[in-house]
């Protein structure tokens, strides 16, 4: 049975199809049939009128933003409606959004397994090189200990902090439209904004509930 939150993404190839509903209702019906039963919530439905050969689809980006906001899974009716090339699927995975294709639900797991296999292979290769380097250093009489032969460089530390800051800014950008909408409705204090976000089911980056302090940090990032 299906559980959790979902954002449905539908794609039609022409404006005429979008207006007439041709192809759109079939996609909606497929998604509804897949979600039938279980404890699930369809947070939003997003419709894209776009060419399947293009990767810069604004509505897909909107759907991804909604998924990140609500901690939801992106669901589509047919796999080819997301992409027809490996590069696009890879970029989708890098967005941090989980996705499920109704006609091929194993695709999500398969992709993750492939990525995990590659990562495992790289980790094993790095481990083997590290052990060989440590053995060679020990043979030369070098005293080992402390960080066990690995000390992050200043550049690596700076890069790590920059990546963390970039993720925080990206999260703030995702929240910006919601916060603006709430503020226009007269909800302006950090406490009230935190309650509103929690009531809408929008979790923090770590999946928890909002506090006034956390909201203030997001607002500060947006104002910077």
User: Which tens digits make up the pLDDT trace of 27-70?
Assistant: 999 999 999 877 889 999 999 886 555 556 788 889 989 999 99
Q: Which residues, at least 6 apart from 18, have a Cβ–Cβ distance to it below 8 Å?
A: 12, 24, 47, 49
The count of C-alpha atoms lying within 13 angstroms of the C-alpha of 221, restricted to the half-sphere facing its C-beta, is 19
Average pLDDT for 191-216: 89
Please name which of 36, 35, 112 lies closest in space to residue 75, comparing C-alpha atoms: 35
| pTM across the whole model | 0.56
Block residue for tokens 């690995």 = 150
User: Which tens digits make up the pLDDT trace of 98-154?
Assistant: 888 888 777 665 664 565 456 556 667 777 888 888 888 888 877 666 555 556 667
């Amino acid at each position: 049975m299906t559980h959790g939150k979902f954002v449905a993404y539908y794609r039609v190839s022409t404006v005429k199809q979008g207006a007439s509903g041709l192809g759109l209702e079939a996609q909606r019906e497929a998604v509804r049939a897949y979600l039938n039963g279980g404890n699930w919530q369809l947070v939003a439905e997003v419709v894209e009128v776009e060419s399947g050969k293009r990767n810069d689809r604004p509505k897909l980006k909107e759907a991804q933003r909604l998924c990140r906001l609500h901690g939801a899974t992106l669901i589509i009716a047919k796999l080819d409606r997301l992409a027809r090339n490996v590069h696009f699927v890879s970029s989708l995975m890098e967005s941090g959004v989980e996705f499920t294709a109704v006609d091929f639900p194993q695709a999500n797991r398969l992709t993750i397994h492939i990525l995990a296999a590659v990562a495992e292979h790289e980790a094993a290769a790095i481990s083997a090189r590290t052990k060989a380097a440590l053995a060679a250093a020990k043979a030369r009489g070098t005293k080992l200990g402390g960080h066990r032969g690995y000390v992050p460089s200043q550049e690596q530390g700076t890069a790590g902090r920059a990546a963390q800051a970039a993720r925080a800014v990206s999260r703030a950008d995702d929240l910006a439209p919601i916060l603006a909408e709430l503020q226009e409705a007269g909800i302006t204090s950090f406490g009230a904004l935190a309650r509103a976000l929690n009531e809408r089911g929008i979790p923090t980056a770590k999946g928890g509930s909002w506090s006034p302090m956390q909201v203030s940090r997001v607002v500060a990032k947006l104002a910077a």
